Structure 1
Amino acid sequence: MSRIVVLLSALLVLASCANTQPVYNVDHHPMPEAARNLPVDRIGELIVKAGEQRQWTFQRAGTGHLVATQIDGRYAAVIDIYFDQSSYSITKKSTSGFPEENGEIHRRYNNWIHYLEGDINAQLATAAP
């Protein structure tokens, strides 16, 4: 009987580990060709438009810098987005509700960032001055 308890405990630990991944940051993602000649303020507007589709809220923190917040039930994330005419980066600022340890975080957070990155790419790829 104790073998079964130990085995079930080990399986539970392994299952919970499968839900965590290394924190995903976007590091100097190349700016799509269509957006490279846009003014930095216009690029920021397009990033905001992309994020608002998934209920991200934004604060301007300076030229080429946005702080975005996402809240979904018990989960919340705050990220920094830095951008210029050549690239953009997304980095985790803080989170709550996500299990996080040793540089790993619940995969839901990473999914949020992957979706946001895709939305930003799509928005910038079709940019017009």
Structure 2
Amino acid sequence: MRRRAVFAGAALGPLILLGCNRLAPVYTVSEANFLGAAPLTRRGDQIRRAAIRLNWAVQDVRPGVMRATFNARRDQAVVEITYSRDRFSIQHLESSNLSFNGGQINRAYNGWVQDLERAIIAGSAA
């Protein structure tokens, strides 16, 4: 009986450690397509509305480029959104408390960016 408990603990140990790994490759949006056609200024408005709805703070950098910041408790993610009339991209700029190591980041970041991507696409249909 005791051997089974030791064996079970040894077998489950690596699985438990895998569940604790909260890092994943950084999610980047590259040239995603908007739905429908619209001028550049309207695309900027659509991106801004989508981001604000998800609690991202947005700053215009120049036409076709925005900087968006998301704060969750003590975690922060900053991305650059580049866009044209037809496509947009979202690139990681900086982050804090998300264990970014150049290629991987806390999975929460990826969820935030994926939510933003979906909201931008959905908002571009209007």
Distance 2:123 2:86 in 1: 15
How many Å apart are 1:104 and its aligned residue? 1.2
* TM-score of the superposed pair, with normalisation by structure 1: 0.83
The residue type equivalent to 2:26 in the other structure is V
Match of 1:30 in 2: 33
Match of 1:64 in 2: 64
Match of 1:75 in 2: 75
CA deviation digits over 1:22-44, x for unaligned, max 9? 100100001212xxx42211110
SS class of match (1:99): coil
SS class of match (2:24): strand
Identity of aligned residues (%): 29
2:18 equivalent to 1:14 = yes
CA deviation digits over 1:38-78, x for unaligned, max 9? 22111101100011011101110001000000111011000
Match of 1:43 in 2: 43
Equivalent residues, number: 121
How many Å apart are 1:10 and its aligned residue? 4.4
Distance 2:93 2:72 in 1: 17
The residue type equivalent to 2:33 in the other structure is P
Distance 2:11 2:17 in 1: 10
2:118 equivalent to 1:118 = yes
Distance 1:13 1:70 in 2: 29
Q: Does the Cα contact within 8 Å between 2:33 and 2:121 map onto a contact in 1?
A: no
Distance 1:61 1:82 in 2: 10
The residue type equivalent to 1:20 in the other structure is L
SS class of match (1:121): helix
SS class of match (2:98): coil
